Amino acid sequence: MRKTVRFEELNTADLLAAGFDKAILPIGSCESHGDHLPFGIDAMIAHDLALAVAARVDRAMVLPPIWYGMSLHYRHQPMEVSVSNDTNIAVYRDVLESIIHWGFRKILVINGHDGNIAGIEVAAQDIKIRHPEVGLAVLGAWWTAGLAMLPTETWRHYGGYGHGGEAETSVAMAVVPELADPGRARGMVDEKDVHVKEFWNYQELTDYGATGLATAATREKGERFKAALVEHLVAFIERKEAQGWIIPKREA
């Protein structure tokens, strides 16, 4: 049997022999992240995180990334290839149904793109209602989670945030260094209300395909960021394994 956790590299015999009982689904998008990052970086990062987690967890299989997401709000720069929210929800729901059909009851989704958050939450809620026996978890925004895990002084500007900004570019330099060129980056910053969510199209936030200070990115920051996320996800899965993939409850 070939040693791989990547579903696209397996065949039926290898799949059955491996005895996988957990599936990790990375999802991303294809859109401009400025002149310094590739269009597909969201899916690339999500897939890399999934593979790193699966390498540390027994019997976890990684699905190919879903490359297209809801990116219509990033249409101001060449170029994005997008699906609608309705299509996004339907694809996520169908893929999750397929995974469950083949016996997987422990599923982790790693999302790499802000425009997918609403769609995967709707699809996951629908699936959980249909299949209450399934343990289904979603890392909806790896960038927010990772930024909370590292000291704030790690970042030079804008708290590390940004679309193609300091944190995302740092992680890209750790994951696909040959495709990241922060020296070509230009970004802007915006001011949003902390408590009231405003909806935007990206040209309202930047004249470029990016926000934040990508020129402050380093591979070392990206490696620390990735390591923190992987450690957290591995610990999460180990905890869920011990709990039987249920959410513990107790008297208040």
Give 179-225 pLDDT, tens digit per residue: 999 999 999 998 889 899 999 999 999 999 999 999 999 999 999 99
Token representation of residue 226: 């990735």
Confidence of residue 163 (pLDDT cuts 50, 70, 90): very high
- The arithmetic mean of pLDDT across residues 73-96, rounded, is 97
The pLDDT assigned to 44 comes to 98
- The arithmetic mean of pLDDT across residues 143-163, rounded, is 96
Q: How far apart are CA 105 and CA 20, in angstroms?
A: 11
The pLDDT assigned to 2 comes to 65
How large is the greatest C-alpha to C-alpha distance in the chain, in angstroms? 55
Q: Which of 221, 175, 204 is nearest to 48 (CA)?
A: 175
Q: For the chain, which residues make up each domain, given as ranges?
A: 7-150+229-243
Q: DSSP letter for 63, please.
A: P
Token representation of residue 126: 């629908």
- Between 191 and 88, residue with greater pLDDT: 88
Q: For the chain, first and last CA: distance in Å?
A: 49
- The arithmetic mean of pLDDT across residues 44-69, rounded, is 98
Q: Which of 169, 50, 171, 73 is nearest to 119 (CA)?
A: 73
Phi and psi of 156, rounded to 5°?
A: -85, -30
Token representation of residue 196: 């009231």
Counting every residue, how long is the chain?
Answer: 252
What superfamily would CATH give domain 7-150+229-243?
Answer: Creatininase (3.40.50.10310)
Type of residue numbered 166: E
The pLDDT assigned to 3 comes to 87
Contact status, residue 187 vs residue 162, Cβ threshold 8 Å: yes
The pLDDT assigned to 91 comes to 98
The pLDDT assigned to 147 comes to 97
Does position 245 have pLDDT exceeding 90, yes or no? yes
The pLDDT assigned to 194 comes to 87
Q: Is the pTM of this model over 0.75?
A: yes
Token representation of residue 209: 């395909």
248 C-beta neighbours (distance < 10 Å), count = 8
Token representation of residue 18: 């491996």
Does position 1 have pLDDT exceeding 90, yes or no? no
Q: DSSP letter for 6, please.
A: B
Does position 161 have pLDDT exceeding 90, yes or no? yes
Average pLDDT, the chain: 96
Does position 9 have pLDDT exceeding 90, yes or no? yes
How many helices (H) does the chain have, and how many strands (E)? 7, 4
